[in-house]
Amino acid sequence: MQVGRVGDAGGVPTETVAGTAGLRDFLHGLPGVDQVGVEERAKRLATRSIKTSAKAQAIDAAIAMVDLTTLEGADTPGKVRALCAKALRPDPDDPKVPRVAAVCVYSDLVGVAVEALEGSDVKVASVATSFPSGRAPLAAKLADTRAAVEAGADEIDMVIDRGAFLAGDYGKVFDEIAAVKEACGDAHLKVILETGELVTYDNVRRASWLAMRAGADFIKTSTGKVSPAATLPVTLVMLEAVRDFRAATGRQVGVKPAGGIRTTKDAIRYLVLVNETAGPDWLTPQWFRIGASSLLNDLLMQRRKLADCVYQGPDYFTVD
């Protein structure tokens, strides 16, 4: 995977990035997003009918894109180990079920997850930077990030400073992302925009570009702690942003909707959105992830329904 240098706009003339004023001009010069139009488009794409072989393909793709997540104050090493076991073998009765993409935990539990997943290709993702609010001094955020990386995290899910963004202090948000990116070293950086707090689609588009230009490898909708979390129109705007960013700079950035995606039907709607907006290039776990916890069992249930033509009761799917 091609990763831009820290703070590199990747092909966009760097002078436009220089200084907060230049950054502000750039972000406010992006084409606007019409709310009615984008919601209508997302709604229309949600009516796509994915059946039979296409559904089977979509379910397996979605399973492989899941970032299996537990982010609770009550998380324990035991809980994380159980989740890792599920990630490695989602359906104990069917070894053909693909593994999920990653397990996503708090930074202090990264070590537990790394140990449990050792030798597998399932990645360990850690939230960092005072997740979910992001309200902490930069030094604390960087320490949080470094601790997670040192414990072996492959991916860091940081949150942006929404307060600074909403106050128009884009330079601060940019510098923080760039600093965290540097602290990540080889770990991939997912930047959580928390779109439920940014509220407008114009803000979502600007925050997407801001994060990508500051070095994000992925842009992610939400922490899952704020409602609304991921929505189809918000994800559509972000997919348009990564598509346009690649067209402008040649660098591809991934997208991760997270929070509120619970059913197979939801997941397939997201895949359709990716397919018809950013395009099939993004339809791999390398470029598209779904942050979820309960989604996985519904995917497994629908997968078995397709194969056996009957629904199994929930007791046939493991609860971890």
Partner 1 sequence: MNFDYAPAPESASIVDIRPSYGLFIDGEFTDPADGRSFKSVNPATEEVLAEIAEAGAEDVDRAVAAARAAYENVWGPMPGRERAKYLYRIARLIQERSRELAILESIDNGKPIRESRDVDLPLVAAHFFYHAGWADKLSYAGYGPDPRPLGVAAQVIPWNFPLLMLAWKIAPALACGNTVVLKPAETTPLTALVFADICRQADLPKGVVNIVTGAGETGRLLVEHDGVDKVAFTGSTEVGKQIARSVAGTRKKLTLELGGKAANVVFDDAPLDQAVEGVVNGIFFNQGHVCCAGSRLLVHEPIAEELLDRLKARMATLRVGDPLDKNTDVGAINSAAQLEKIRMLSQVGEREGAQRWSPPCELPDRGYWFAPTLFTGVAQSHRIAREEIFGPVLSVLTFRTPDEAVAKANNTPYGLSAGVWTEKGSRILWMAERLRAGVVWANTYNKFDPTSPFGGYKESGFGREGGRHGLEAYLNV
Q: How many residues does the chain have?
A: 320
Q: Which stretch binds partner 1 (CB under 8 A): 55-63, 75-83, 84-92, 133-141?
A: 55-63
Chosen residue from 31, 73, 95, 137 binding partner 1 by CB under 8 A: 31
Beta bridge partners of 159: 192
Q: Which stretch binds partner 1 (CB under 8 A): 45-53, 102-110, 115-123, 162-170?
A: 45-53
Q: Is 150 in the site for partner 1 (CB under 8 A)?
A: no
**Residue (142 or 273) nearer to partner 1, CB:** 273
Contact 45, 269 (CB under 8 A): yes
**Residue (76 or 200) nearer to partner 1, CB:** 200
**Residue (63 or 151) nearer to partner 1, CB:** 63
- Asked about 256 being catalytic, the answer comes back as yes
Q: In the structure encoding, which two tokens stand for residue 295, read together?
A: 């989604």
**Nearest approach, Cβ of 273 to partner 1 (angstroms)?**
11
Contact 147, 129 (CB under 8 A): no
**Which one of the listed residues 86, 123, 190, 220 is annotated catalytic?**
220
Q: Is 271 in the site for partner 1 (CB under 8 A)?
A: yes
Helix (H, G, I), strand (E, B) or coil at 216: coil
Q: In the structure encoding, which two tokens stand for residue 259, read together?
A: 């929070």
Q: Is 137 in the site for partner 1 (CB under 8 A)?
A: no
**Nearest approach, Cβ of 256 to partner 1 (angstroms)?**
17
Q: Is 52 in the site for partner 1 (CB under 8 A)?
A: yes
Tell me how many residues contact partner 1 (CB under 8 A).
29
- Show contacts with partner 1 in window 227-256 (CB under 8 A): 240
Chosen residue from 33, 102, 105, 179 binding partner 1 by CB under 8 A: 33
Q: Which stretch binds partner 1 (CB under 8 A): 146-154, 212-220, 252-260, 268-276?
A: 268-276
End-to-end CA distance of the chain: 32
**Nearest approach, Cβ of 283 to partner 1 (angstroms)?**
4
**Nearest approach, Cβ of 240 to partner 1 (angstroms)?**
5
Residue written as token pair 């709310």: 35
The region that residue 24 occupies, defined by phi over 0 for left and psi between -120 and 50 for alpha, beta otherwise, is alpha
Contacts with partner 1, 284-313, as mask; x by CB under 8 A: x-----------------------------
Beta bridge partners of 102: 67, 123
- Rounded CA separation 318/211 (Å): 37
Contact 193, 230 (CB under 8 A): no
* Active site residues per annotation: 157, 220, 256
| Residues near partner 1 (CB under 8 A) | 31-34, 36-38, 40-41, 47-55, 57-58, 61, 240, 271-272, 275-276, 280, 283-284
